[in-house]
Chains A and B, each alone.
Chain A
Amino acid sequence: MYPSRFRYQAARSAEQAVRLLHEGGEDAKVLAGGQSLIPMMKLRFASPELLVDINAIPGLDYHRVDPDGSIHVGALCRHADLEHSDLLPGHQPTMTAAAPLIADPLVRNRGTLVGSLCHADPQGDWASVVLALGGSIVAQGPAGQRTIPLREFVLGPFENALAHDEIAVEAVIPAPRGAPAGGYLKLERRVGDFATAGVAVALETDGSQVIRAGIALTGVGGSTIEATEAEQVLTGRPLTAETIAEAGRLAAAAAQPKSDHRGSATYKRHIVSTFVVRILSRIDWTQERAA
């Protein structure tokens, strides 16, 4: 790998990282897992002048569930940590389903959830999951920390709301108000391929009806897409074959896929609807009701 010339600095604290970014200006980039940045540097699609490596910052590799039920994922928590988490199974089904589907085992060992959100690739899996869950990003800059809902964090393809001297230190999934249910499905041609299409579904139920629905789509538009109308058709009702079919239809309508070598737009829409229906149909409604 022969990237363009760049400077490298390893930060020892979030404050130092912010300072280095501030001094580095617009051409500085944060290096966490490097699973997107390094290939782009290799191809010289990205030529940052300064790399600020945050891997040596202590205390950022956590993920935890707070007493209120909210989930916090630190900037250095690897995909593999979430895949092998003891905390998520039984607590957060959408994240549990998505973690083992991220790229391949090599990427999962290095890549981070927060880094994936910052990269803002419309084909990134975590962005759909966190969007469906209504999550947000905690950003740290020279003036301190601020919280940005993911909906406002992703501005477009490969574009996020961070200032050049801010780093994302944590992703937060808010505490559920009901029993969480859902899942994540993606179609890929091969392990590690970008999604032809992916669907994240995150529901909260009160035993008799859906009280919150989040549905977000991967790889079928210029950025991660929230299928708002599909969410609305599920909310405030019990989950039935009719609402499931309608949600699938509305999610497919929300998708804005482009035809490419992964498949036609028609096919991708069809996969979105199929996956929404499959995830929702697999939710064991009776058990949820009992819980």
Chain B
Amino acid sequence: MSQAVDEIKIGGMGASRRRVEDNRFIRGKGNYTDDVVLPGMLHMEILRSPVAHARITRIDASRAWDMPGVRLVLTGEMMATRNLAWMPTLSYDTQAVLATDKVRFQGQEVACVIADDPYIAKDACEAIEVDYEPLPVVVSPQAALEDDAPVIRDDKEGQATNVIYDWEVGDAEGTDRAFEQADVISRLQLHYPRSHPSPIECCGSIADFNRSTQKLTVYMTTQAPHIVRAAVALIAELPEHMIRIISPDIGGGFGNKVPVYPGYVCSILASILLEQPVKWIEDKTGNLISTGFARDVYLDGELALSRDGKILGMRMRTLADHGAFFADAQPSKFKIGLMHSTFGCYNVPFAHLAARGMYTNKSPGGVAYRCSFRVTEAMFFQERMMQAAADDLGMDQAEFRRINLVRDEQFPHRTPFGFLLDSGQYGACLELGLKAVGYEDFLRQKAEAAKRGRLLGIGISTMSEPLGAGNSREYDILGIKMFDSAELRVHMTGKALLRTGARGQGQGHETTWGQIVAHELGIPADDVTVEEGDTDTAPFGMGTYASRSTPVAGAAIAMVCRKVRAKARKLAAHLLEVSEEDIEWELGRFYVRSAPDRGVTIQECAMAAYSNMPDGLEPGLENNAYYDPPNLTWPFACYIVTVEVDPETGVWDVLNMVAVDDCGVRINPMIVEGQIMGGLTEAFAMSNMQFITYDADGNCIGSNYMDYLIPTAWETPGFELHGEVVTPSPHHPIGAKGVGECAAVGGPAAFVNAVMDALKGTGVRNIDMPLLPDRVWEAVTQRHDVSGAPPIRTDG
């Protein structure tokens, strides 16, 4: 007699199952791109431009060609003969693969050497002579707008200025009327500094073109292998079925590994020309100065407010610095990602956003670094604005949020920009956070401390993030719709192989996906192997970024399990000798409704699928599912931080941080908490120390880990996590919402708001991130705002 299985025991939904991938990762047995070694493999090194803007007048690679062990030197001129000097970006722009006319940012790819070993390749790069004729350098979007600014993209026909786009969304007239009726108008100008996702593993590829089979296999660090396959087919004009992209273990992505980079293209061409495998592994500086950066947007906005604290309207202007090529990875129909998700969780009747994008002599990118396409900037603006508005109204910042948050009974709630927020308990999350941090008590402590000259502050950030693109109606990348997929094969003995179109980079897919199978089919999670990242075996999918894996691929897994279960039901009816209508399901088992003791397990059904199927039923137990979500998922979060600022040094310490995340149903609570802690750490980094900036000559400051600071365990504060509020997604098959990015998105404003709250009495309204000690000290002592990108100060 069979019995229903215990879901937690089989590692199903809600089990804090240990991460199965860690077994190999922590033993050093992962298989990353750089671990792949192929017979006859050559090594590629990239020569990068040392200057930010210059015309190339001469490239002489003869000394490099003459060095023993050098097999090939690629330059822009050679790429151009194959129509590969330029490639399309993910935002309908073009990007130089190897520079032909001029270089447009420091670190731009100028030439490549392919040699027998990486030492020779590097030596040979140093032997290439390049003459650069310097051009004026533009390192800010404001300077790019000046009348006398050089046109950076003179390669583009009809491009007379450095403006990439002017784009707007919302109701301009309605918003104007709302501002006319306002009692109070609150304004804030912010800069979200340039940062870099900076995965520990840099980018790399091994291209292996086999002349005899005509097949091109590329091992590469990509979060979206199928998109790359399509891109290679289109750019390199190779037949798609002859291209195999394999994304092995990835050492972190955070959005950095979504785009196609020149190094990939060069290694592919080199392998085709040389008919040998060519490996390219980027170094840390190459990664930081040339691959997809994030943020770098000036945010200027205002709120129309009634005296009693109601938001009447919101107006926002963004000025984004996209670098030398517009290479944002984002849904194609939007120019500035989902910036217009700002103020989604509040009742705002009228809103308008005007966005402008600029070319500068900085590296290209604008990738969604741990966020759903510019949502980080949107939420940072929103929550900084909320605090400033509360202060302008003389209102308690918690109360001001309470008044304006969308109430539970308002769902589904349409935002003025058109998003449909479908679920949430915003008020409950806020109250839980306030209670956990001891809000009233802290305000008393703060007042006490102020009497002794100590500066304490508390900052709140509440936000709902749009996660899990598509649906396919609105979200596509270069026309490819943003659905995702899963394929499940249940073997004869009831063990299973699951493949998806997503590609984990450390998020724990191999663990979590097995848990969804366990939840749907009662097959123990340990009996499920998860495979991703090989385009010859995985079903077509859009990959992993923007917290879309669980919302989209995770849903596809649930749906394919249900298809398999439907077939297993037929097998169960056959085995139990009753009609299908008389069969009931409980976890792991079908039974006869009228005789519950008579049942068969899912494993017995699997065996029957290969050994004892009824007449007319196709053998086997496998299926696939493509899932196109009806909407985004809308998790909600409330982050509260308390700090003490040392006015003598500008150093600030986090006293406490409380995080309340309602991400719907949690499949693996331990993994969810790990994601939140990681995101909060990055949020702290952004607010406290992390930035990339450029000096006047276009030299990148932040090109290595001495300058680009990643916090260690020493600086990172402790976090108190709360998951008590659970609002399932109404449309996701298992009620889950995205969560991987919420903390990195909503967190920074909480830290900054806390410091600004501590400085409230000093007349300082804003310090732009990062809140480095010298910037805080300057604000406190000079009693003025400190704005803009961190300057490279020089004494002249």
Binds A, one of B160-168, B478-486, B591-599, B773-781: B773-781
| Residue B772 at the chain A interface, CB threshold 8 Å | yes
Q: Does A5 interact with chain B (Cβ within 8 Å)?
A: yes
For residue A196, CB closer than 8 A to chain B, the reply is: yes
B774:A267 contact, CB within 8 angstroms: yes
Q: Identify which of B126, B689, B701, B794 contacts A189 (C-beta below 8 A).
A: B689
Distance to closest chain B CB from A141 (angstroms): 33
**A interface residues, how many (CB within 8 angstroms):** 26
List of B residues within 8 angstroms of A193 by Cβ: 706, 709
A2 and B119 contact, Cβ closer than 8 Å, known pairs A189-B689, A260-B794:
yes
Complex-state Cα separation, A267 to B786, whole angstroms: 14
Q: How far is the CB of B343 from chain A (nearest CB, A)?
A: 33
Docked-complex contact B772 and A263, CB < 8 angstroms: yes
Which residues A205-244 have CB closer than 8 A to chain B? Answer: none
Q: Please name all residues of chain B whose beta carbon is closer than 8 Å to the beta carbon of A44 when the two chains form the complex.
A: 126
Q: How far is the CA of A261 from the CA of B770 in the complex (A)?
A: 12
A37-48 Cβ-contact flags toward B at 8 Å (1 or 0): 000000110000
- Number of chain B residues close to chain A: CB under 8 A: 32
Contact A196 B795 (CB under 8 A): no
Q: Say whether, besides A190-B715, A260-B794, A4 and B706 are in contact (CB < 8 Å).
A: no
Q: Are B123 and A187 in contact (CB under 8 A)?
A: no
B104 at the A interface (CB under 8 A): no
Is the pair A259, B714 in contact by a Cβ cutoff of 8 Å?
Answer: no
Determine the chain A residues whose CB is within 8 A of the CB of B701 once the complex forms. Answer: 261
**Nearest chain B CB to A221 CB, angstrom units:** 12
Instruction: Select the residue from B126, B651, B773, B778 with max chain A CB neighbours within 10 A.
Output: B773
Contacts of B285 in A (CB 8 A): 43
A151 CB-CB contact with B under 8 Å: no
User: Does B774 contact A258, Cβ atoms closer than 8 Å?
Assistant: no
Tell me, rounded to whole Å, the shortest Cβ–Cβ distance linking A237 to chain B. 25
Contact A260 B792 (CB under 8 A): yes
Which residues of chain A come closer than 8 Å to B118, judged between CB atoms? 2
Chain B residues whose C-beta falls within 8 Å of the C-beta of A259 in the assembled complex: 793-795
Q: Are B777 and A258 in contact (CB under 8 A)?
A: no
Q: Tell me if B's interface is mostly helix, strand, loop or mixed.
A: loop
Chain B contacts for A191, CB-based, 8 A: 712, 714-715
Determine whether the beta carbon of B119 is less than 8 Å from that of A5.
Answer: yes
A223: shortest Cβ distance to chain B, in Å?
17
| A104 to B714 alpha-carbon distance, docked (Å) | 10
B793 touches A261 (CB 8 A): yes
- B508 is an interface residue with CB less than 8 A from chain A: no
A residues less than 8 Å from B221 (CB atoms): none
Known A104-B712, A267-B778; judge A187-B649 contact (CB<8 A): yes
B774→A263 contact, CB < 8 A: yes
Cβ contact of A196, chosen from B122, B126, B773, B793, cutoff 8 A: B773
Query: Is B344 located at the chain interface by the 8 A CB criterion?
Result: no
A residues 102-131 with Cβ under 8 Å of B? 104
Q: Are A261 and B778 in contact (CB under 8 A)?
A: no
Interface string of A1-42 (1 = CB under 8 A from B): 010110000000000000000000000000000000000000
Q: Is B792 a contact partner of A261 (Cβ separation < 8 A)?
A: yes
Whether A189 contacts B772 by the Cβ 8 Å rule is yes
A70 interface hit (Cβ, 8 Å): no
Residues of chain A within 8 A of B709, CB atoms compared: 189-190, 193
Binary B-proximity of A176-217 (CB < 8 A = 1, otherwise 0): 000000000001011111101000000000000000000000
User: A residues within 8 A CB of B772?
Assistant: 189, 263
Query: Which of B689, B792, B795 has the most chain A CB atoms closer than 10 A to its own CB?
Result: B795
A43→B283 CA distance, assembly (Å): 10
- Whether A192 pairs with B712 at a CB distance below 8 angstroms is yes
A270 to B649: give the CA distance in the assembly, Å.
8
A270/B793 contact (C-beta < 8 A), A189-B709, A261-B693, A263-B772 known:
no
Residues of A within 8 A of B777 (CB): 267, 270
Q: How far is the CA of A104 from the CA of B711 in the complex (A)?
A: 12
Indicate if A85 sits at the interface (CB-CB under 8 A).
no
* Complex alpha-carbon distance, A192 and B122, angstroms: 29
Q: Which residues of A contact B794 (CB under 8 A)?
A: 258-260
Return the chain B residue nearest A277 by Cβ: B648
* Known pairs A190-B712, A193-B709; A264 contacts B649 (CB<8 A): no
How far is it, in angstroms, between the C-alpha of A104 and the C-alpha of B706 when the chains are bound?
Answer: 12
Given contacts A5-B119, A267-B773, A270-B777, 4 further A-B contacts (CB under 8 A): A191-B712, A192-B712, A259-B795, A265-B793
Q: List 16 A-B contacts (CB under 8 A).
A: A2-B118, A2-B119, A5-B123, A44-B126, A189-B689, A190-B711, A190-B712, A193-B706, A193-B709, A196-B773, A196-B774, A260-B792, A261-B707, A262-B774, A265-B793, A265-B795
